[in-house]
Amino acid sequence: MRISLVPIQPADVASLAPTIEPPIPPPSLADIYRAEVDYVWHGLRRLGIPQADLPDVTHDVFVAVSRALPRFEPERPLRPWLFGITYRVASTHRRLFRNVREVPHAAVECADGAPDPEQSLLQAERRDRAVECLGHLDLKHRAVLIMHDFHGHEVGAIAEALAIPIKTVYSRLSTARRRFSEAAEKLARAGRAEGQP
Amino acid sequence: MNRQPEHGPLSPAALALIEGDRRTAGPSADERARIWQQTERTLAAAAAVASVATIGKGVSATASTSATATAGQAVLAKLATSLTAAKLVLALAATTAVTGATVAVVRRLGQQAPVAAPVAPSRAHSRASVSRPPAPSTVAPTLAGPTAITPPVAAPAAVSPLAVAPPPAARPIVAAPAGAHPARAVVAPANHRTVADQPLFAARRGRTTGGEGGPHLERLLLDEALAAVKARDLATAAALLDHHAAEYPEGRLTEEREALRVSVREARGDHAGAVEAARRFRMRFPGSVFRPTVDAVAP
C-alpha cells in the first residue's frame, strides 16, 4: 500500500482548528422584564390567576427568574423556560390561596384603557370567554394548551419546560384541545341563543 | 422512526377565542413600572438579609474566639460589667438613632429619586424568543434606598413611583356589582381609585397600611433599617425594625421586616431570638420569597 505524503500547509492547519465562538452573554433580568413582562402577564392570566392578583404574581415570577437566571443557558429559547417558571409560580399561588379565600374571577375589573367603553367591554368579554373555557381544564392540561396553541411553542420545548415526556405532552394536548373546544362550542351556542355575536 | 401521537384539531369556536385572547392588552405602563420597582426592592431586601447573615457568622466566630481567649472568672465579671454599660449606651444610641432616622425619613418624603423602569415594547405574541440588546444592562440590587437600573437600550421613560399621575386613558377599577356579569364594569367617576393608586401587595394580603405616614413612610423606615444594616450598625437596625413594627404591625412590608429581623438577631448573637423569630416567620409566611434565606440563617 502506498501512502502519499502531502506536505501540510499552514492554511490547512488553520482550517482544521476548531472555531471558538464567544459565549452568548446571558440576558439580564431587566432585559427579560422589558421584553417579556407581557408574555408572563398573559401566561399567568391564562393559567387562571385573578386579575387583581396579576401584579403580585408577576412580581413573584420575576423574583423566581432572578434566582434561576444563573442556570439559564442563553443558547436555548427563553420563552419556554420562562413559562416553566411562570407555571410553577402560578401553581404554588393557586395551591396556597385556594383554601384561604375564594376569589371570584374578575371580581375587580380593569378596563383596558381603550377610548371607547363599548370596545373595552367587548374586549374584556372576549378575554374572559377564553379564560372561562380554559377554566374547564385542570392546570397541567391548561399549561400544555396555552404553550402550544396560545403561545405557539414546539412540543419538544414544552416537554422540556414542564419537565414531562414528549408523549405526555401530546396526550395532554389532545385532551386539552377536546375539552377546550367543547367548552368553546358550548359557549358559542349559549351566545347565539342570547343573540350575542 | 418515532411516530407522533395524533391530537385532534381545535374547533372553529375555540380558534376564534384564542385569536381574540391574543389581542388582549397587557399591563399598563404604570403597572409595569410598579411591578419592576417592587421586584427590585424585593431582590435588594433579599440581598440585604443574606448580607446580614454573613455578618452574623462573623460575629459568632469573633465571639467564640474572644470567649476562649478570656476564660477567667475575673475577666468575665469585668466583661459583664462592661457589657451592661455598653447596653445602656447602645440603648441610648438606638433611641437617638430612631428619632433621628424618623426625622430624616420624614424629610425625605416626596424627595425620592425617580425610578427608571424598563419599558416593555408592545409585542405581538409570536414564536420569537427575547431580543437581546447589544449592551447588557446591570441590575445590581442595593442594600437600601430607592434603586435605579441602567437601561441597556434607548433611555426608558422615568417614572416616579411615589407620584404616579394616571394617564388620560387610565384604567379605572370598578368593583362589579353583586350578580352582575364580571366583565360589565361601570365607568368610573373622575375621582375614582385607579390601578396606580393601589399598593402592589394590597389585594393579595388584604392588610391595612397603618401609621400616619402611609406606605411611603413605611417603605422609608425599612430603607433606613437596611441602610443601618449596610453600615454594620445592627443596634440601630434592630431599633428601627422595632419602631417599624410598632408603627406598622400589619403593614405591607411586614414580611420583609420580619425576615430582616431574623438575620439582625442572628448577627447580634441572639441565636435563640433568631430561631424564635424564624419559627414565627415560617408560620406566618409559609410561601415567602425570603424563606430560603431565613432557613439558612436560623434553621
ipTM, interface predicted TM-score of the complex:
0.75
Pairwise CB contact (< 8 Å): B20 & A126: yes
Give the C-alpha separation, A4 to A9, whole Å.
15
- pTM higher than 0.90, yes or no? no
Q: Does B134 touch chain A (CB under 8 A)?
A: no
> Please, which pLDDT band fits residue B289 given cuts at 50, 70 and 90?
confident
Give the C-alpha separation, B95 to B106, whole Å.
17
pLDDT above 90 coverage of chain B, percent: 4
436555548: which residue's cell?
Answer: A76
Rounded alpha-carbon distances, angstroms, from residue B141 to B13, B113, B159, B238: 47, 16, 19, 22
Q: Residue A55's closest CA among B39, B171, B65?
A: B39
Cβ count near A25 (within 10 Å): 11
367587548: which residue's cell?
Answer: A122
Q: Does B21 touch chain A (CB under 8 A)?
A: yes
B71-122 pLDDT per residue, tens: 333 433 343 444 344 443 344 444 444 444 444 444 444 344 344 445 443 3
Cβ count near A3 (within 10 Å): 5
Pairwise CB contact (< 8 Å): B200 & A56: yes
pLDDT (0 to 100) of residue B26: 87
CB of B97 closer than 8 Å to CB of B239 = yes
Q: Does B5 touch chain A (CB under 8 A)?
A: yes
The tally of CA atoms less than 13 A away on the side-chain side of residue B123 is 21
The tally of CA atoms less than 13 A away on the side-chain side of residue B171 is 23
Rounded alpha-carbon distances, angstroms, from residue A186 to A26, A135, A183, B148: 46, 13, 5, 50
Pairwise CB contact (< 8 Å): B17 & A38: no
Pairwise CB contact (< 8 Å): B21 & A130: yes
Grid coordinates belonging to B251: 403593614
How do the pLDDT tens digits run along chain A, 197 residues long? Answer: 555 555 656 665 555 555 666 777 788 999 999 999 999 999 999 999 988 889 999 999 999 999 899 888 888 899 999 999 999 999 988 887 554 554 444 444 444 444 566 666 666 666 678 888 999 999 999 999 999 999 999 999 999 999 999 999 999 999 999 999 999 998 888 876 665 55
Of A25, A53, A111, the CB nearest to B185: A111
Choose the weakest-confidence range: A170-184, B55-69, B165-179, B281-295: B165-179
Give the C-alpha separation, B198 to B165, whole Å.
13
